[in-house]
Amino acid sequence: MEQGTIEKVSVLIIGSGPAGYTAAIYAARANMKPVLYQGIQPGGQLTITTEVENYPGYPEGIQGPEMMVHFEKQASRMGADIRYGLATKVDFSSTPHKVWIDEEKEIHADTVIISTGASAKWLGIPSEERLNGYGVSACAVCDGFFFKGKEVAIIGAGDTAAEEAIYLSKLCTQVHMIVRRDQMRASKVMQDRVLNSPNIKVYWNSETDEILGDKKVEAVRIKNNKTGDTLEIPVSAFFVAIGHQPNSAIFKDYVDMDETGYILTVPGTTKTNVAGVFAAGDVQDKNYRQAVTAAGSGCMAALDAERYLTSIGH
């Protein structure tokens, strides 16, 4: 397409994790000629994951990036048009829906499947960025295995942090859990599990001052925000579990979301409040956030889009 021309498509899929690729597989097989834009991180969060051992059908496990290559190849083979590019603006005020790619290319789509995922929140300290991948991780379930038999730290106070601390406690000799306030946000049952795990030590009223280490994580320095005292804890890994941010900002003027930006869908479907716009995967799921649940909702989105197109006579 020449720049400045408008491209018309039946199904536009925004995002390329398990949800987007599965939607593309189903839509292509239904002869809906889907166009998928991969976004800033082709393959999504799984490309920063190493071993995936919990996806059915891979008895030996598989590397996250390799798995996403498989998904992409399958979608391509079915006839999906997969492109590199980032959706930068949308206008869902009338039909067809308008989406701009890389701020210049305009696409008019009868249906849009939003599968832009969610990104881990980070503390924003330089040492965290510098050592990311060298002991700093935002996914204990992904990377905990590499620190088997070692001491690790985790920061966070919600259910995810509690779950990940318990997961780590089964692999690591000692888990140092850093909690900013004098209590956790996690549910009572999760808190009890943490506090009853003999090898999880909780540091209340504490913040991360610095992650220490030259080429890899060697220790974390924490600061008590009541007393101002600092403490250095030798650890081999530092896990950040302070939540995820759904990648939904460009849709906020049109699509209903919860207070944290997760897109709201009609329960049991992928339908949003905008007719012809569907949401799948982590951008609308803050509970499960697994590759297999994302793929399942991608399938649902393609089927929902197909039924919608039939209903409007396409």
pLDDT in tens, 238-296: 999 998 899 999 999 999 999 999 999 999 999 999 999 999 999 999 888 889 999 99
With cut-offs at 50, 70 and 90, classify the pLDDT of residue 122.
very high
Catalytic residue (one of 110, 142, 172, 285): 142
| CATH number for the segment(s) 6-119+244-311 | 3.50.50.60
Active site residue 142: yes
Is 299 considered catalytic here?
no
Q: What is the pLDDT of residue 49?
A: 67
- pLDDT value of residue 226: 94
Three-state secondary structure call for residue 234: strand
pLDDT of residue 4: 62
Span 139-163, average pLDDT: 91
- How much is the average pLDDT of 227-237? 97
For 43-89, what is each residue's pLDDT tens digit?
988 887 667 878 999 999 998 899 999 999 999 999 999 999 999 99
Q: CATH topology of 6-119+244-311 equal to that of 122-240? A: yes
3-state secondary structure at position 221: strand
Does 90 have pLDDT greater than 70? yes
Task: Provide the mean pLDDT of the chain.
Answer: 94
Confidence of residue 1 (pLDDT cuts 50, 70, 90): very low
User: H helices within the chain, ranges in order?
Assistant: 18-29, 64-77, 126-130, 140-143, 159-169, 188-195, 291-311
pLDDT of the residue at 52: 81
Predicted local distance difference test score (pLDDT) of residue 254 = 98
Of 91, 102, 139, 258, which one is the catalytic site residue? 139
Cα–Cα nearest to 174, from 242, 218, 240, 237: 237
CA distances from 115 to 16, 70, 78, 106, 173 (A): 7, 18, 19, 19, 38
What does the block give as tokens for 96?
Answer: 């067809």
Which one-letter DSSP state was computed for residue 111? E
Task: Assign 63 to helix, strand or coil.
Answer: strand
Q: What is residue 5's DSSP assignment?
A: P
Q: In this structure, is the dihedral angle defined by the CA atoms of residues 37, 306, 89 and 117, taken in order, positive or negative?
A: negative
What is the 3-state secondary structure of 242-307? CCEEECCHHHCCCCCECCCCCECCCCCCCECCCCCEEECHHHCCCCCCCHHHHHHHHHHHHHHHHH
Residue 196 exposed, middle or buried by CB count within 10 Å (0-12, 13-18, 19+): exposed
Residue 78 sits at the vertex; the CA angle it makes with 77 and 82, to the nearest 5 degrees, is: 75
Would you call 172 a catalytic residue per the annotation? no
Instruction: List the CATH code of the domain at 122-240.
Output: 3.50.50.60
Pick the catalytic residue: 81, 110, 143, 282?
A: 143
Domain boundaries, the chain: 6-119+244-311, 122-240
Highest-confidence segment of 156-160, 203-207, 284-288: 203-207
Compute the 3-state secondary structure of the chain and give helix, strand, coil in percent, each to the nearest 5: 30, 30, 45
State the alpha helices, DSSP H only, in 159-243.
Answer: 159-169, 188-195
Q: How many C-beta neighbours within 10 Å does residue 22 have?
A: 27
